[in-house]
Chains A and B, each alone.
Chain A
Amino acid sequence: MLARRYVFRLIALAILLVFAAFFFVPIMWLILAPTKTDYQLVHESPFAFGSFGTFARTFSRVINYQGQLMLIWLKNSAIYSVGGTVLALAAAIPAGYGLALTQFIGRRALLAITLVVMIMPATALVLPLFLEASAVHLLGTVWAVILPFAFFPFGVYLAYIYFSSTIPRDLLAAARIDGAGEWGVFRHVALPLARPIVALVAFFAFVADWNNYYLPFVMTYTNSQYPVTIGLQILIGSAPVFSPTASGFAGSEIYRPDLAMATLIAITPVLIIFLFAQRTLVQGMLAGATKE
């Protein structure tokens, strides 16, 4: 018996290791790639380490590509994502609260609609949104990107779940009796207790906005407006390896390690945000509200 259990565990471990390796290898490769030159990348082992000097040179080449275009893209991504996240929060948190804890005609219908639009692929809406933005002359402005980002039904649903499952009704009743109006109840009681869900929705919204490619691709026209996702595409387009017709300016050729570097730079802000958000996501705010 014991031997059999041992064998099963070994098999399970082996399967897990294979899968772990499968997902880990590309990340490993991505982190190692900028330490090598293009020649080393192609001819040496995929897991070979180049040198820190090469890493620094690659970094500087990416940052300085065409007058620090990378920094402009990062700044644009930040503007779009922060703006979109702030608006998404301003809409999603009160909406989730309203759906969870107040009574009004059409509440169930709204909840159903929220679910439906949640499963709709965001890409499907890009074209009608483009026509809409065009009709109100917002194309080419930051609002053409930020306003669609504010539409975040998943956040509404998360907030709805949180409010309906964690806030005792009597707590709101107590605030109403204490003299608070509906806004006061939300502002003084529900919102302070919603910090974990605000952090969670903010994080998801930010990541979704930061990684969005297609919407800003349709809504913006110039290098100075593009976010970093489109920037990466442009970099790939200007790498001779991937597009033989591309002829970079002297000294500004893009090679494969540079693309890996650009990718790393593009995901770093999200990683940093995650590390900060994680702290706030810790629960425990409701301890002691009521006696169970």
Chain B
Amino acid sequence: MATVTYKNASRLYSKAQRKAVDGLNLEIGDGEFVVLVGPSGCGKTTSLRMLAGLENVDEGEILIGDRNVVNLPPRSRDIAMVFQNYALYPHMNVAQNMGFALKIAKVKRSEIDTRVQEAAAILDLQDYLQRKPGQLSGGQRQRVAMGRAIVRQPRVFLMDEPLSNLDAKLRVATRSQIHALQRRLGVTTIYVTHDQVEAMTMGDRVAVMKDGVLQQVDAPRRLYDSPVNAFVAGFIGSPAMNLMQGTLTADGVMIGSTVVPVPRDLQKAAGTGTVTIGLRPEALEIAGDGPGIPVVVNLVEELGAEAYVYAQLAEHAALATVTRTPDVIVRVDPHSAPSSGAKVALHVKAESMLLFDSESGARITGAEQ
């Protein structure tokens, strides 16, 4: 078990315009579960493979414990990795797959058997130890890949989208299993995913990356409540945060032709001009016919416990689809959801409003922040 530290680590592929990973700084505590998340091509998998030793580190350092591992081959780093496609050895049975690392390390046969049995018990694989990977289902293969990692008792677990090949239901179940397993073993874990729900539910902390650059690393709650910029705000959360352009006025911010009040300190910090307004679906509510932003409901998505209203600003509703702004999404009680086509007013919970610089995307914070 160990800490992991990225110090200004970069990866530049030859012929590439920009760095695949650009000056990554990240400190991961002993036993911590950190999720790297971002859209495809953001450098999250490259960051992981740099730590594994499968990619060169062109600049900077990566430390496991307090040892710089940049020049060590993968086998000397004492890490275990679960691959997206599992990468099980097809010619070995499950027990041999799980025990391979120990066999290479010249651990005694009896010791290997014991540890494989233990891991198999944890992962419910005892009945499959003699099977070849080709005879297993996707979920079983995924568990074998996990088993191969935990048998090692490594200092760090690396997981590269280990759930992406499972169907939705199995993915949710396995998600909590991996989380519980990590808690139980207490091994430092770095987990890569493009799925922000996975990131939010599993990570002690979540690192959001974009274009090779780390945007923010924080606990899921803080990431959701206090994103540092419009990208993180839009990426985290499902459905996504509503991001709208607005003009600052003396009384607040103008969305369409409606002025919405802004908390004083935020108003002061924002100054004048245009800003990007961020509103979570739950930061809006249907105000009936009271004062608020007039919208036309396009679609209501019923999810059982909640419903999401997709609506268009009333003054834009008549425009052709291509010139419209994206729908505003509002979370509502399914029992009082408006029907599509209805004209309603939206009330903004001002305290939940976020403002971003419309140029840089950086969050504008009030005095109390």
Mutual binders A and B:
yes
A contact residues vs B (CB 8 Å cutoff): 168, 170-171, 173-181, 184, 188-189, 192-193, 285-292
Which A residues are in CB contact (< 8 Å) with B60? none
Q: In the assembly, what is the distance between CA of A168 and CA of B85, in Å? A: 10
Q: Identify 12 new A-B residue pairs, CB closer than 8 A, beyond the known A178-B104, A178-B152, A292-B85.
A: A173-B54, A173-B81, A174-B83, A174-B148, A176-B75, A177-B80, A179-B105, A193-B90, A289-B88, A289-B90, A290-B83, A290-B87
Tell me whether A289 and B87 are in contact in the complex, defined as CB-CB below 8 angstroms, given that A178-B148, A180-B75 are known contacts.
yes
Tell me whether A178 and B100 are in contact in the complex, defined as CB-CB below 8 angstroms, given that A286-B90, A287-B90 are known contacts.
yes
Which B residues are in CB contact (< 8 Å) with A189? 89
Chain A residue at minimal CB-CB distance from B152: A178
Tell me whether A175 and B100 are in contact in the complex, defined as CB-CB below 8 angstroms, given that A193-B90, A285-B91, A291-B141 are known contacts.
yes
Chain B residue at minimal CB-CB distance from A189: B89
**Residue pair A288, B133 in contact (C-beta under 8 Å):** yes
Chain A residue at minimal CB-CB distance from B105: A179
Q: In the assembly, what is the distance between CA of A177 and CA of B75, in Å? A: 5
| Complex partner residue of B74 from A173, A192, A193, CB under 8 angstroms | A173
Number of B interface residues at 8 Å Cβ cutoff, please give it.
33
Which B residues are in CB contact (< 8 Å) with A285? 90-91
Q: In the assembly, what is the distance between CA of A9 and CA of B136, in Å? A: 47
Which A residues are in CB contact (< 8 Å) with B74? 173, 176-177
Pairs across A and B, CB under 8 Å, 19 listed: A168-B85, A170-B84, A171-B89, A173-B52, A173-B81, A174-B83, A174-B148, A177-B52, A177-B54, A177-B77, A178-B101, A179-B104, A285-B90, A288-B133, A289-B87, A290-B83, A291-B86, A291-B141, A291-B165
CB-CB contacts below 8 Å: B80-139 with A: 80-81, 83-91, 100-101, 104-105, 132-136, 138
Min Cβ gap B129→A in Å is 15
Which A residues are in CB contact (< 8 Å) with B77? 177
Q: Is B79 an interface residue (CB 8 A)?
A: yes
Q: Is B304 an interface residue (CB 8 A)?
A: no
Min Cβ gap A283→B in Å is 12
Q: Is B361 an interface residue (CB 8 A)?
A: no
Which A residues are in CB contact (< 8 Å) with B83? 170, 173-174, 290
Chain A residue at minimal CB-CB distance from B100: A178
Which A residues are in CB contact (< 8 Å) with B234? none
| Complex partner residue of A170 from B80, B87, B90, B138, CB under 8 angstroms | B87
| Complex partner residue of B133 from A176, A192, A289, CB under 8 angstroms | A289
Which B residues are in CB contact (< 8 Å) with A177? 52-54, 74-75, 77, 79-81
Which B residues are in CB contact (< 8 Å) with A291? 85-86, 138, 141, 165
Q: In the assembly, what is the distance between CA of A176 and CA of B53, in Å? A: 9
Q: In the assembly, what is the distance between CA of A288 and CA of B137, in Å? A: 9
Q: In the assembly, what is the distance between CA of A170 and CA of B52, in Å? A: 12
Using an 8 Å CB-CB cutoff, how does the interface string of B54-84 with A read, 1 for contact, 0 for none? 1000000000000000000111010111011
Q: In the assembly, what is the distance between CA of A288 and CA of B53, in Å? A: 25
**Residue pair B165, A181 in contact (C-beta under 8 Å):** no
Which B residues are in CB contact (< 8 Å) with A181? 73, 75
Chain B residue at minimal CB-CB distance from A290: B85
Q: In the assembly, what is the distance between CA of A288 and CA of B86, in Å? A: 10
Which B residues are in CB contact (< 8 Å) with A180? 75, 104
Which A residues are in CB contact (< 8 Å) with B165? 291
**Residue pair B81, A287 in contact (C-beta under 8 Å):** no
Q: In the assembly, what is the distance between CA of A177 and CA of B87, in Å? A: 11
Q: In the assembly, what is the distance between CA of A142 and CA of B350, in Å? A: 93
Q: In the assembly, what is the distance between CA of A175 and CA of B54, in Å? A: 11
Which A residues are in CB contact (< 8 Å) with B85? 168, 170, 290-292
Min Cβ gap A165→B in Å is 15
Q: In the assembly, what is the distance between CA of A184 and CA of B75, in Å? A: 11
Q: In the assembly, what is the distance between CA of A181 and CA of B105, in Å? A: 11
**Residue pair B148, A288 in contact (C-beta under 8 Å):** no
| Complex partner residue of B141 from A176, A179, A188, A288, CB under 8 angstroms | A288
**Residue pair B87, A173 in contact (C-beta under 8 Å):** yes
